[in-house]
């Protein structure tokens, strides 16, 4: 008998939950997009170059001068108390009231998602998400093996009647929904904001069927147009688990997010965090505390808004010019992303290789759905590329799509449902 | 002696190439060579002209690295390099051309057709697909004519899904290869040498999923390997013979890896020849070398010596 080689000899020993963590073709293609010759509209990075390094340095110096021993030390699991006061202020900026003791600081909001999944999801449990939804949340949830149901959206956010329908159906089968996950402001990936009316309807449905709402709000303060809607937490504190982050208004590198939730839930989440990492960095929490106490952080957010507004407009302008008739897209009033729909017969995951050949990249839509959907969609990011790059990127994208459409027609693939999709759930 | 290691580059297989390249660099350092790491970009030729390495080790995969492009440049610059020359690289990377040569040389290869994107866009070739499929018989393997990895490779079991598979392949190359799917034992034969050729033990590939697709190839554990392959003596000899003939038919020097399927009659059907086999911790060439008693360092040493012998 020949010796047998398995590239990963431990394959039989992994937990079942790792089966949802396969390496993907899309990920491997996107790995190439870091190349300098490619204009990547695929990222999701805040434009940290907009910060003055002197300002940050001032905060870091202060921490080391005043408090270096504690900054180098472990800290409390629920977070550095003085920073919680700053976070309360950040939330008040959006009209959300909160007390420091309602808050647990996490290692980015992503850890909050993981803690929530770990604390609430048993294998087979039912949860509801918007379609499309944030891929990082989906991955956190999926590794705890729930059944994920999706609610489609239109330009005002998730469709409340579809949500009710789903809840009714599940209840009729004796199933309880653990939570509804939503990104109400400038949703990642769709760039859509849930209207105030729909927020109220969502809360009403959650009350009627007694489920929790997980409100993920990374982009709330990044509104560069229109009027803000009240946060879900401010409308229904008792049933909302709120996730905030400093990643978009200060630094993603500091890894500071937080959860505001009813106290019994907070206590459970605290245990989950304790076993995960004991505490969030004492050092970066102190830097953030000084920054949000001493510096003009509101002025800095305004500067960021000016940049993101200009970039969003530049990209929308280029899209109007080069993509009209080839695609349709959402028009965000804040945040980082917009969502484009191509004709039904185009598969954006397949088209990505051609796009990379043309030196432009995007994220294919299918990754933002837990099981299937979004095959003809893509997410485009405008926060990082400057106006000229965005214009060039969109021009290249138009070429790629034109070629794809003509190839699909030549192959007779355009026959079934050739109209553009206007509903976000039509994959 | 100073050896420049070309790796990375801008192909879709950049990451795998970097993994191959770093391992090769470590081995070269351990062997006592002076090593120059070269990630391939616009500055490549000026750097080569300035640094004048005594030898270039090509650890590139995919377009430009194994299609004869970089080899041609190195010929112009008079810098010796590892692996086969321009002709073998150009032919080997183009699966359609190499299959034509196999047939010409009487080397068994699954029946196939090649169609360009232009035939679809400008000549209505979609209407020829049923006839092509009928001649070859389902299932078909549909692949880009020139693409190093499993990207863009799909299986079509009926005429309904064939256009989709064609479209997918055309994202990676302007020509698509429709090949009859041959079921059987998959083996890879690695050949070393210039004049005198050495066939390393065959590596048998057993995908856990039905087909050897992208996930199977790049997700450790989804594929199992046996080395030497579990074949009888006669079949092994036939496969090795086919591999040696393939290596010679394309005029390869130094090294190649020939991918073969043993069909139901025990006939080795040659699928393709690879002139820049992977050198990662999970690649087939190092696995075969190991089975022949040649560790990774020894393998790299051998490849360097073969390249120097070729150039002298």
Listed in sequence order, the residues at least 6 apart from B78 whose beta carbon sits closer than 8 Å to its beta carbon are none
Task: Report the predicted TM-score, pTM, of the whole model to 2 decimal places.
Answer: 0.88
Please report, for chain A, the start and end positions of each structural domain, with discontinuous segments joined by +.
12-50+300-410, 73-294
Q: β-strands B185-193, B198-199: how paired?
A: antiparallel
* Chain A residues lying within 8 Å of B224, measured CB to CB: 4-6
User: Which residue among B167, B204, B215 sits closest to A350, beta carbon to beta carbon?
Assistant: B167
Token output for A317? 């302008």
Q: β-strands B154-156, A328-329: how paired?
A: unpaired
- Residue-range domains of chain B with CATH: 2-83 (3.40.50.20), 91-108+182-311 (3.30.470.20), 112-180 (3.30.1490.20)
Judged by average pLDDT, the poorest of A22-31, A364-373, B1-10, B111-120 is A22-31
The catalytic site residues of B sit at 13, 149, 218, 257, 259, 272, 274, 278
CATH assignment of A12-50+300-410?
A: 3.90.1150.10
pLDDT at A122: 96
* Most confident residue range from A413-427, B143-157, B265-279: B265-279
What's the CA angle centered on A259, arms A119 and A104, to 5 degrees?
90
Per-residue tens of pLDDT for chain A, all 427 residues: 566 666 666 777 888 777 766 556 666 677 777 777 889 999 888 999 999 999 999 999 999 999 999 999 999 999 999 999 999 999 999 999 999 999 999 999 999 999 999 999 999 999 999 999 999 999 999 999 999 999 999 999 999 999 999 999 999 999 999 999 999 999 999 999 999 999 999 999 999 999 999 999 999 999 999 999 999 999 999 999 999 999 999 999 999 999 999 999 999 999 999 999 999 999 999 999 999 999 999 999 999 999 999 999 999 999 999 999 999 999 999 999 999 999 999 999 999 999 999 999 999 999 899 988 999 999 999 998 888 999 999 999 999 999 999 999 999 998 754 343 344 443 3
Type and span of the H or E element at A392 = helix A387-410
Question: Is some CB atom of chain A closer than 8 A to the CB atom of B204?
Answer: yes
Average pLDDT over chain B, rounded to whole? Answer: 92
Does the ipTM exceed 0.90? no
Convert the pLDDT of each residue in B172-215 to its tens digit: 999 999 999 999 999 999 999 999 999 999 999 987 665 545 45
A-chain residue closest to B166, CA distance? A411
Contact state of A25 with B215 under an 8 Å Cβ cutoff: yes
Q: E strands, A278-372, where?
A: 328-329, 337-341, 360-361, 363-364
User: Which residue among B120, B219, B282 sits closest to A22, beta carbon to beta carbon?
Assistant: B219
pLDDT at A417: 45
pLDDT at B221: 62
* Chain B residues lying within 8 Å of A28, measured CB to CB: 12, 15, 214, 218
Token output for A383? 């926060």
Helices vs. strands in chain B: H and E counts, helices first = 12, 13
Token output for B30? 């351990």
CA distance B45 to B192: 29
CA distance A30 to chain B (A): 9
What's the CA angle centered on B237, arms B235 and B239, to 5 degrees?
70
CA distance B74 to chain A (A): 23
pLDDT at B127: 97
B-chain residue closest to A34, CA distance? B10
- The CA–CA distances, whole Å, from B124 to B117, B136, B262 equal 10, 20, 36
* Chain B residues lying within 8 Å of A407, measured CB to CB: 117, 120-121, 167, 170
Convert the pLDDT of each residue in B238-247 to its tens digit: 999 999 999 9
- Top residue of A411, A412, A413 to mutate, by most chain B CBs within 10 Å, is A411
CB B110 within 8 Å of CB B281 = no
CATH match for A73-294 among 3.40.640.10, 1.10.260.40, 3.10.180.10, 2.102.10.10: 3.40.640.10
B-chain residue closest to A21, CA distance? B219
A-chain residue closest to B144, CA distance? A353
pLDDT at A423: 44
pLDDT at B282: 85
Q: Over the Cα atoms of chain B, what is R_g?
A: 19
Contact state of B282 with A7 under an 8 Å Cβ cutoff: yes
Contact state of A356 with B166 under an 8 Å Cβ cutoff: no
Neighbours of B113 (CB within 10 A): 18
Question: Is some CB atom of chain A closer than 8 A to the CB atom of B71?
Answer: no
Convert the pLDDT of each residue in B222-261 to its tens digit: 678 999 999 999 999 999 999 999 999 999 999 999 999 9
Token output for B190? 């690695």
- The CA–CA distances, whole Å, from B270 to A142, A182, A259, A345, B157 equal 42, 53, 59, 36, 21
Contact state of B220 with A8 under an 8 Å Cβ cutoff: yes
CA distance B3 to chain A (A): 25
Q: How far apart are the first and last CA of chain B?
A: 15
Contact state of A413 with B120 under an 8 Å Cβ cutoff: no
């Amino acid at each position: 008998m020949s010796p047998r080689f398995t590239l990963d000899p431990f394959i039989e020993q992994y937990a079942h939950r790792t089966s949802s963590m396969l390496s993907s073709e899309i990920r491997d293609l996107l790995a190439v997009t870091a190349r300098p010759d490619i204009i990547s509209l695929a990222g999701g990075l805040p434009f940290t170059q907009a910060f003055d390094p002197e300002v940050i340095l001032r905060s870091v110096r202060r921490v080391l001068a005043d408090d270096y021993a504690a900054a180098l030390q472990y800290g409390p699991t629920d977070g550095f108390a003085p920073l919680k006061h700053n976070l309360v202020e950040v939330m008040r900026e959006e009209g959300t009231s909160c007390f420091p003791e309602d808050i647990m600081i996490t290692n980015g909001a992503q850890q909050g998602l993981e803690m929530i999944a770990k604390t609430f999801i048993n294998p087979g449990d039912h949860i509801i998400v918007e379609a499309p939804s944030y891929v990082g949340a989906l991955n956190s949830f999926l590794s705890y093996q729930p059944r994920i149901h999706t609610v489609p959206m239109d330009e005002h956010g998730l469709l409340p009647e579809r949500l009710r329908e789903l809840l009714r159906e599940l209840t009729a089968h004796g199933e309880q929904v653990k939570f509804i996950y939503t990104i109400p402001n400038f949703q990642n990936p769709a760039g859509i904001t849930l209207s105030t009316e729909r927020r109220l309807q969502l809360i009403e449905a959650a009350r009627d069927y007694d489920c929790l709402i997980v409100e993920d709000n990374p982009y709330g303060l990044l509104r560069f147009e229109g009027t803000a809607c009240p946060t879900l937490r401010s409308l229904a504190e008792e049933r909302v688990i709120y996730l905030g982050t400093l990643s978009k208004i200060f630094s993603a590198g500091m890894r500071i997010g937080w959860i505001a939730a009813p106290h019994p839930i907070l206590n459970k989440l605290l245990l989950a965090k304790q076993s995960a990492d004991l505490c969030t960095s004492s050092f970066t929490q102190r830097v953030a505390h000084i920054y949000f106490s001493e510096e003009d952080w509101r002025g800095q957010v305004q500067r960021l808004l000016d940049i993101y507004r200009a970039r969003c407009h530049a990209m929308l302008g280029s899209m109007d010019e080069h993509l009209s008739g080839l695609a349709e897209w959402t028009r965000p009033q804040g945040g980082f992303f917009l969502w484009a729909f191509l004709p039904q017969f185009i598969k954006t995951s397949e088209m990505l290789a051609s796009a990379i050949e043309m030196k432009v990249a995007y994220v294919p839509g299918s990754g933002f759905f837990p099981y299937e959907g979004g095959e003809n969609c893509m997410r485009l990011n405008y926060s990082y590329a400057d106006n000229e790059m965005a214009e060039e990127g969109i021009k290249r994208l138009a070429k790629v799509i034109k070629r794809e459409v003509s190839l699909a027609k030549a192959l007779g693939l355009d026959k079934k449902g050739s109209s553009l999709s206007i509903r976000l759930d039509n994959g | 002696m100073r050896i420049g290691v070309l790796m990375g580059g801008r192909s879709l297989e950049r990451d795998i190439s970097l993994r191959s390249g770093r391992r090769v660099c470590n081995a070269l350092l351990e062997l006592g060579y002076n090593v120059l790491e070269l990630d391939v970009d616009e500055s490549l030729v000026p750097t080569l002209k300035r640094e004048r390495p005594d030898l270039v080790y090509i650890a590139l995969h995919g377009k430009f690295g194994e299609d004869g492009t970089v080899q041609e440049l190195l010929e112009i610059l008079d810098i010796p390099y590892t692996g086969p020359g321009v002709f073998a690289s150009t032919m080997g990377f183009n699966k359609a051309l190499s299959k034509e040569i196999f047939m010409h040389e009487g080397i068994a290869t699954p029946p196939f057709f090649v169609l360009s994107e232009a035939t679809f866009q400008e000549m209505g070739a979609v209407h020829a697909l049923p006839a092509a499929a009928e001649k070859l018989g389902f299932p078909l393997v549909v692949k880009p004519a020139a693409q190093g990895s499993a990207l863009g490779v799909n299986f079509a079991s009926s005429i309904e899904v064939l256009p989709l598979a064609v479209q997918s392949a055309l994202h990676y190359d302007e020509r698509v290869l429709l090949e009859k799917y041959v079921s059987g034992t998959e083996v890879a034969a690695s050949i070393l040498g210039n004049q005198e050729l050495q066939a390393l033990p065959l590596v048998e590939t057993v995908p856990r999923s039905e087909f050897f697709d992208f996930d199977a190839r790049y997700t450790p554990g989804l594929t199992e390997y046996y080395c030497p392959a579990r074949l009888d003596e006669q079949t092994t000899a036939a496969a090795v013979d086919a591999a040696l003939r393939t290596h010679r038919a394309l005029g390869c020097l130094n090294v190649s890896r020939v991918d073969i399927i043993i069909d139901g009659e025990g006939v080795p059907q040659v699928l393709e020849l690879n002139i820049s086999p992977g050198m990662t911790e999970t690649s087939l060439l190092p696995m075969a070398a190991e089975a022949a008693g040649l560790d990774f360092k020894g393998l790299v040493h051998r490849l360097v010596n073969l390249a120097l012998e070729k150039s002298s």
